[in-house]
Amino acid sequence: QQPVQSPQAVILREGEDAVINCSSSKALYSVHWYRQKHGEAPVFLMILLKGGEQKGHEKISASFNEKKQQSSLYLTASQLSYSGTYFCGTAPMTGTASKLTFGTGTRLQVTL
Amino acid sequence: EPEVTQTPSHQVTQMGQEVILRCVPISNHLYFYWYRQILGQKVEFLVSFYNNEISEKSEIFDDQFSVERPDGSNFTLKIRSTKLEDSAMYFCASRVDGEKLFFGSGTQLSVL
């Protein structure tokens, strides 16, 4: 069962912040976040393991609430280069290298 | 950074024909995957492969699909008799363990 992402789409002006949410009905071992530009392969952003940690680099960070089986991606002071579709990928508790099941994606457009 | 290589980048075929999509995963990776993405939609899991056998497959991966790792470096996806609905971008991915997935740049398959 695929994770549910919200919102489906968001338009920002450069410099604004955004939060993208990912929710699963299954117990999770890890949550991955990827960004995909049009016509390109998904590019890895970060991985969060069970334990409720928060990770980040520069102005993109994420949290993982293991109890709620939810993860959120935080984009602060957005740049034009942040535009793309963001996917969360979830891995169940059954194995560390199990398949990732991707959410429906969130289209982010950053404008001037 | 090491890369997953996919060939061809585009493949056009007639309905009912067989196609083979090729991938060279990163050399020290142990887990291999095929995903597909219909235009504008989410990334869908097809199959995972570990230790020279399929470890998991989705409902999409029916008898028309097969995977092989014939020579220890290449990883192929074969579709025996293509259908119109097989038209999609096919991504190969690999990883060492439970860490991030490395995606190839994809093969755009068009079935006419």
pLDDT digits (tens, 9 = 90+) for B9-53: 999 999 999 999 999 999 989 999 999 999 989 999 999 999 889
Quote the CATH superfamily of domain A4-111.
Immunoglobulins (2.60.40.10)
pLDDT digits (tens, 9 = 90+) for A51-93: 656 666 678 999 998 888 899 999 999 999 999 999 999 988 7
Instruction: Report DSSP state, residue B100.
Output: P
- More confident call, B23 vs A50: B23
Q: Is A87 on the interface with B (CB under 8 A)?
A: yes
**Domain regions of chain B by residue span:** 5-99
Query: Is residue A109 predicted with pLDDT exceeding 70?
Result: yes
Does the domain at residues B5-99 carry the CATH identifier 3.10.580.10?
no
Which percentage of chain B shows pLDDT scores above 70?
A: 99
Give the pLDDT of residue A26: 86
**Minimum Cα–Cα distance from B43: chain A residue:** A102
In angstroms, the CA A70 to CA A86 distance is: 15
Give the pLDDT of residue A49: 82
Contact B84, B14 (CB under 8 A): no
**Domain regions of chain A by residue span:** 4-111
Q: How far is CA A31 from CA A1, A50, A58, A78, B21, in A?
A: 14, 8, 19, 22, 28
Q: Is B31 on the interface with A (CB under 8 A)?
A: yes
* Mean pLDDT taken over chain B: 93
Give the closest residue to A48 by CA, choosing from A84, A91, A5.
A91
Q: Which of A2, A97, A104 sits opposite B98 (nearest CB)?
A: A97
